[in-house]
Amino acid sequence: MWNKLNTFLNCLIGAFIGVFLARSVYTYWDYTTHPEIYAVSSAPWYTAILLFGIVSGAIILAAMLVKVMIREKVKKGE
């Protein structure tokens, strides 16, 4: 059971890192091709990247903490 949960958490971490990188690259590409759209708003063009990075970082951190707790519990059981 612990192995399945560990595999799921690894997939979750990898997916959030991949989505963050892909979304960041797309946002930068969109900004370079359509700067007039971003000039209208008062926030900088990279605000969406920062917000999504904070959310992704929090989820990745939570998953890593669960992984550490699992590792400690498995070591106690041995």
C-alpha triplet 27, 32, 37: angle, nearest 5°: 75
**Hey, which bits of 1-78 come out as E strands?**
none
Q: What pLDDT score was predicted for residue 33?
A: 96
Which range of residues forms the domain containing residue 18? 2-73
The answer to whether residue 78 sits within a structural domain is: no
Q: What pLDDT score was predicted for residue 1?
A: 77
Q: What pLDDT score was predicted for residue 73?
A: 86
The answer to whether residue 7 sits within a structural domain is: yes
As a residue count, the chain comes to 78
pTM greater than 0.75 (yes/no): yes
Question: Along the chain (78 residues), what's the average pLDDT of each consecutive run of 10 residues?
Answer: 89 97 97 93 93 97 94 83
Count how many domains the chain has: 1
Q: What pLDDT score was predicted for residue 26?
A: 97
- Inter-residue contact 42 to 10 (CB < 8 Å): no
Q: What pLDDT score was predicted for residue 3?
A: 86
